[in-house]
Amino acid sequence: MSGFSSEERAAPFTLEYRVFLKNEKGQYISPFHDIPIYANKDVFHMVVEVPRWSNAKMEIATKDPLNPIKQDVKKGKLRYVANLFPYKGYIWNYGAIPQTWEDPGHNDKHTGCCGDNDPIDVCEIGSKVCARGEIIKVKVLGILAMIDEGETDWKVIAINVDDPDASNYNDINDVKRLKPGYLEATVDWFRRYKVPDGKPENQFAFNAEFKNKDFAVDIIKSTHDHWRALVTKKTDGKGISCMNTTVSESPFKCDPDAAKAIVD
């Protein structure tokens, strides 16, 4: 668990439920801004929002101070994804890479659409079911360019470096070879998961083809640049909370006591 821990407040599956993240000293931090993007060279951190096979749509609360994980709400109701035959809930551990941001003011040259205003999403394909709020280290393998209601919403494919089979996975073609059907299922899931809610199917750039590791890393780096502009106030975040405890050049940096006061 790389020195980070999580603390739950209120009961799960309620409007009040939050998961706050802490550093190795037990101080409250933002999973969006304070966890480094890199765990080490070529290995990224991932914040697990949704454990595999579960249905509650949990996410980093980008507009709340310190950005705890909470359940998404639409029209006053907690959001769940439907079981989409033949799948049960999310088919990977789902989460985000910290210190990234898909800028809604930036028109993506690959998709022709602006960003979705969130950290970049990750689908972790290893064998372990992770815990909500867990911070894991992942190897990036590829990326899918989803277009969700006219917004660019990249989906990174990665594997936990602690997975027993991680050494066998180095690029997207290894997923095709070793997990036949899994990438097709991933596209199918993302295409249809909002249909039970009465929404249209999602669209994809590149004919829904997965791009390779190098392409994925380039996209992640560009979202890291957008995040840096956000957290140093070079970009207007329009309501996003940039409160953090570690980004030295950020005007939003606060001390651990102020962070604790927010949580309490």
At 228-260, the pLDDT tens digits run 999 999 999 989 999 999 999 999 999 999 999
Confidence of residue 41 (pLDDT cuts 50, 70, 90): very high
Q: Is the pLDDT of residue 1 over 80?
A: no
Q: Is the pLDDT of residue 2 over 80?
A: no
Contact 56, 71 (CB under 8 A): yes
Reported pTM = 0.97
What is the per-residue pLDDT for 255? 96
| 130-186 pLDDT, tens digit each | 999 999 999 999 999 999 999 999 999 999 999 999 999 999 999 999 999 999 999
Q: What's the rounded mean pLDDT across residues 29-39? A: 98
What is the per-residue pLDDT for 86? 96
* HSE-CB of 264 using CA atoms within 13 angstroms: 7
